[in-house]
Amino acid sequence: MGKQTGFLEYERRANPCEAPESRIRHWNEFHPALDIAERERQAARCMDCGVPFCQSGLKLGSGYTGCPLHNMAPEWNDLVYHGNFEEAYKRLHKTNNFPEFTGRVCPALCEAACTCGLHGDAVTVRENELFTVERAYADGVVKPEPPKVRTGKRVAVVGSGPAGLAAADQLNRRGHSVTVFERSDRVGGLLMYGIPNMKLQKSVVDRRVELMRAEGVEFKTGVDVGRDFPAGGLAAVFDAVILCCGARHPRDLKAPGRESQGVYFAVDFLSSTTKSLLDNGLKAGTYISAKGKNVVVVGGGDTGNDCVGTAIRHGCASVTQLEMMPRPPVERDFAANPWPEWPRVEKTDYGQQEAVALFGHDPRLYQRTVKEIVPDEQGSVKEIVTVSLLPRTENGRTVMVPVPGSEETVPCELLLIAAGFLGTESYIPEAFGVDTDARGNIATAEGSYRASVPKIFAAGDTRRGQSLVVHAIAEGRGAAREVDEFLMGYTNLT
């Protein structure tokens, strides 16, 4: 696959990146593409490795390695190398409904498992994927393909994030009539309001949604199923219902002063920015603003980093990011973290890079958390008291405990909680009467997407907990297969 000696002849070269000092002045994506000749060379680096772990989607250690969608990366890398871009897209689209999303926001589990990466630099699989789908759009290869025959079966999908869209896309292609219900004013769920515009421009989401509309999928926005629309009504009208409602129950911060004004969950902060940006170009007073404020973000990961980058674009006075866990190693410890496991090393993402460029230092403080939130006379947060943490083993597991006397006061007028999620919002399973597991997710049997109530299925974060876009797409496809078999007695979906 690819050029047999390509990995020896060509060095890895990623898409260029606009300088932090420039990109913080706008909300657009900032990784311009390589030229076609260089992209073909990058695809040529895909070696004839024999066992392509890149498409394995295996759970190893504490995480996953390889693509959960089992994308046939060696095949379409070879086709890109030979300039057969249309066939490359067709191979890619067999396993991935939305490569324009994963090509932008996936952390590239495929590259972590790439054989080239064992002793050198992995193939640029994600960027090759993005090139392939964008070239297909530009060449008119991606076009509406409505099913020629309808089955007469009706399916409701609740939630239009990546899992819901994938399930809807698959079932519609099978010939079922699919209606997607979304409580927000725009389709996309996490893709629309959970991911900042500079990582995923919303025109990319709208483009795919319009394609699905042209293929026959119906979208109903502003409909909050379980609150302003009865759950029983769906089950009565549709032959199957798939719940793809995400895991929007945020983990809160338990500290004195939590009720102070100026304390927000990260998802609300990010969503308000994107909605205002799309509605009116960030008109003052229409979003949660960080302008001129000392911002503290509690939590690491992608969401915490997105908060850092967003606050900087608002024009914050400073930004600090608190991470409970110890600082990861800069280099991989192959004895404790062998290939092809996901590499547990420190990652400095775009937001942190921008903070370094703007303020001269990394915004992250490791092994620290908020002990107290101190409000001013008007009840708005003015500062926080942080405390250091040390790991301790209790009942066989590591917990972080406060260090007495390590308190520090940090100025803060905007505190953002990016500490993860505790499962789906309770009103959804309550409305449908389905069981939940110990983590608050909708319960299904092992290897199944079927909920505890007849005709009800679940997929994505609402079933597995907070996860990646690529896992959500895989979940949506899996649920579609099971629903199709439930409706027809067999399935030919992959």
- Max Cα distance, the chain (Å): 71
CATH for the stretch 154-248+422-488: 3.50.50.60
Give the model confidence (pLDDT) of 283-333 as tens digits.
Answer: 999 999 999 999 999 998 899 999 999 999 999 999 999 999 999 999 999
Q: What does DSSP assign to residue 54?
A: G
pLDDT for the residue 195? 97
User: What is the distance of C-alpha 32 from the center of its chain?
Assistant: 21
Spatial separation of the C-alpha atoms in residues 243 and 457, rounded to whole Å:
6
3-state secondary structure of 22: helix
Give the model confidence (pLDDT) of 20-60 as tens digits.
Answer: 999 999 999 999 999 999 999 999 999 889 899 999 999 88
Contact call for residues 459 and 471 (beta carbons, < 8 A): no
Spatial separation of the C-alpha atoms in residues 127 and 462, rounded to whole Å:
29
- Return the domain boundaries, the chain: 6-138, 154-248+422-488, 263-417
Spatial separation of the C-alpha atoms in residues 310 and 418, rounded to whole Å:
13
The angle at the Cα of 444, spanning 489 to 480, to the nearest 5 degrees, equals: 40
Q: What does DSSP assign to residue 399?
A: E
How is domain 6-138 classified at the architecture level of CATH? Orthogonal Bundle (1.10)
- At 484, the pLDDT band (50, 70, 90 cuts) reads very high
Whole-angstrom CA distances from 391 to 260, 386, 395, 399, 417 are 29, 16, 13, 6, 22
Give the model confidence (pLDDT) of 370-387 as tens digits.
Answer: 999 999 999 999 999 999
Burial of 424 (0-12, 13-18, 19+ CB in 10 A): buried
The angle at the Cα of 492, spanning 487 to 494, to the nearest 5 degrees, equals: 110
Joined tokens for residue 121:
């630099």
* Residue among 241, 183, 242, 416 nearest 316 (CA): 416
CATH topology identical between 154-248+422-488 and 263-417? yes
Instruction: Select 263-417's CATH number: 1.10.760.10, 3.40.50.300, 3.50.50.60, 2.40.50.140.
Output: 3.50.50.60
Give the model confidence (pLDDT) of 210-255 as tens digits.
Answer: 999 999 999 999 999 999 889 988 989 999 999 999 998 899 999 9
pLDDT for the residue 248? 87
- At 1, the pLDDT band (50, 70, 90 cuts) reads low
